Chain A
Amino acid sequence: MSNAIVRVENLHKAYGDTEVLKGVNLEVDEGEVLVVIGPSGTGKSTMLRCINLLTRPDQGRVWVAGDEITAPHADVNQIRERVGMVFQDFNLFSHLTAEGNVMVALTKVKKMSKDEARKLAMFELERVGLSDKAQLYPAQLSGGQKQRVAIARALAMDPSVMLFDEPTSALDPELIGEVLEVMKKLAREGMTMIVVTHEMGFAREVSTRMIFMEHGVIAEQGPTQQLFYNPQHPRTREFLGKITELYGHEQGEA
């Protein structure tokens, strides 16, 4: 087996009669930044959620950093710690401050002492440029700040890979840039990332590889340049045309 950080083999998932994933195969190596695009309802979120088993696939296997999370007796919680996840609607814990949000899994899951956890939380908040907001509650933060706290919260667990599910889709246009900046910085630091996004500026600038998903399968994949400028699949070309029209503002591409 290669040194893939994430390996997905023949993933199938159906909700009732609707087959959402129809055999997805994927390998993501260390340091890769993979951007996933595709029309709505094609299973992008479902695929991400299968990687850390928030959704259990009907069929197929998933490995994270060499451990099979779909194995019958796998310690799922422990493997999940190594997969950071960032959601479209942030999902910050609303009863905890920014600092508390970053600390809670450190103390409860990693069993760190409060002091240690606080130190690390401050470090991670600093990393996303929010150390001055540590004591504020989610309701007191802007959308962009919330998402940056969510990124800090995931990073604090020291994950092997970060999954982003449309991290900027719920944000006002003027707040998208600050989140993309943080993500670009992460990519430059060598973090392995799988990013579902419509931000083509981000994709072009930092992704190493792109996949186009449609109807529950990977319809096309390849190096970013190739997918952008020389897509093989006519649907890929069509879709790329559509999103550049819709999201053509190229946020954060200063």
Chain B
Amino acid sequence: MDKLPDILGSLPYLLEGALLTLAITVLALISGFVIGLPLALLRVYGRKPAATLAAAYSTVLRGLPSLVVLFILFYGMAAVVKLPAFLAGCVALGFCSSAYQMELLRGAIQSVGPGQMMAARALGMSQLQAIIHIILPQALRLAIPSWSNEAAVVLKDSSLVYAVGLAELLRRSQQVAARTYQSFIVYSLCALIYFAMTFLANRGLDHAERALRLPTPLEETAH
């Protein structure tokens, strides 16, 4: 246990790594959403070729290990354009996540009944107006629980970027473990930090979901 001070001394170093993990996760989730949402809309409302293309995109990407996508972007593309490791990591995870986000958003969009679109169009809204003002406000609410799940998956997958040399949480834990020979304690600490981040993110999204939940007949009396 004489290594304990040493390990504790490395805590800021590990937390810095956690910050990098968090940054990559957030950026990957955002880019995954920005790519996934239009694709989900194309899949549901697009003409046949566009919908098929979107479906193919998701099938292909969901069939690839994230690490492979990362290597293609970082090493495979190096001859054409040399992406910085951080960017390659965010983009690779973002692409992979976009396929899953597309599917979960598609499910949410489709669970908004067809009558909502019909009523919106009957009032003279364009399809885009109906999507923005009527469909998405309902679909995105429905998507929060699955999205929270996806956030946890991406957070955990973010450890993959250590393969292109980024010193995120897992990479740094490895370094500290090697230096202190206290693998169990160090990796447990690493696990604890991962868990804390996932837990807080999920709790935060649960909270958002509840705050945004529409009133139901039962709650009316509770107010």
Contact = CB atoms under 8 A, between A and B. Distances in A.
B138 to A, nearest CB: 5
15 contacts: A80-B123, A87-B115, A91-B113, A91-B116, A94-B116, A95-B137, A104-B134, A105-B120, A105-B123, A105-B124, A108-B125, A108-B133, A139-B215, A140-B215, A157-B123
B118 interface: yes
A89 B116 CA distance: 10
Interface residues of B, number: 23
Contacts of A108: 125, 129, 133
Nearest to B223: A140
B133 A104 contact: yes
A80 B214 contact: no
Interface in A73-91: 77-78, 80-81, 83-85, 87, 89, 91
Interface string B176-220: 000000000000000000000000000000000000001111001
B134 A140 contact: no
A93 B214 contact: no
A72 B157 CA distance: 51
Contacts of A95: 134, 137-138, 141, 214
A71 interface: no
Of the candidates B113, B116, B122, B217, the one having the most CB atoms from chain A within 10 angstroms of its own CB is B122
A77 B115 contact: no
A109 interface: yes
A121 to B, nearest CB: 13
B125 A105 contact: yes
A91 B121 CA distance: 12
A137 B220 CA distance: 10
B129 to A, nearest CB: 5
Given A85-B119, A95-B134, 15 more contacts: A52-B122, A80-B121, A91-B115, A91-B116, A91-B118, A92-B119, A93-B119, A104-B133, A105-B120, A108-B133, A109-B125, A137-B214, A139-B215, A153-B123, A154-B123
A54 interface: yes
Interface of B: 113, 115-116, 118-126, 129, 133-134, 137-138, 141, 214-217, 220
Interface of A: 52, 54, 77-78, 80-81, 83-85, 87, 89, 91-95, 104-105, 108-109, 136-137, 139-140, 150, 153-154, 157
Contacts of A77: 121, 124-126
B124 A157 contact: yes
Nearest to B132: A108
Nearest to A156: B123
Contacts of A52: 122
A191 to B, nearest CB: 16
A94 B111 CA distance: 13
Contacts of A137: 214-215
A85 B124 CA distance: 11
Contacts of B115: 87, 89, 91
B126 to A, nearest CB: 6
Nearest to B138: A95
Q: Closest 10 interchain pairs by CB?
A: A81-B124, A91-B119, A105-B123, A91-B115, A85-B122, A109-B124, A80-B124, A95-B137, A140-B220, A77-B124
Contacts of B138: 93-95
A174 B188 CA distance: 64
A150 B215 CA distance: 19
B119 to A, nearest CB: 4
A154 B122 CA distance: 9
Given A95-B137, A104-B134, A140-B215, A87 B124 contact: no
Contacts of B125: 77, 105, 108-109
A153 B113 CA distance: 19
Contact of A109 (B116, B123, B141, B220): B123
Contacts of B217: 139-140
Of the candidates A80, A108, A139, the one having the most CB atoms from chain B within 10 angstroms of its own CB is A108
A87 B126 CA distance: 19
A85 B121 CA distance: 10
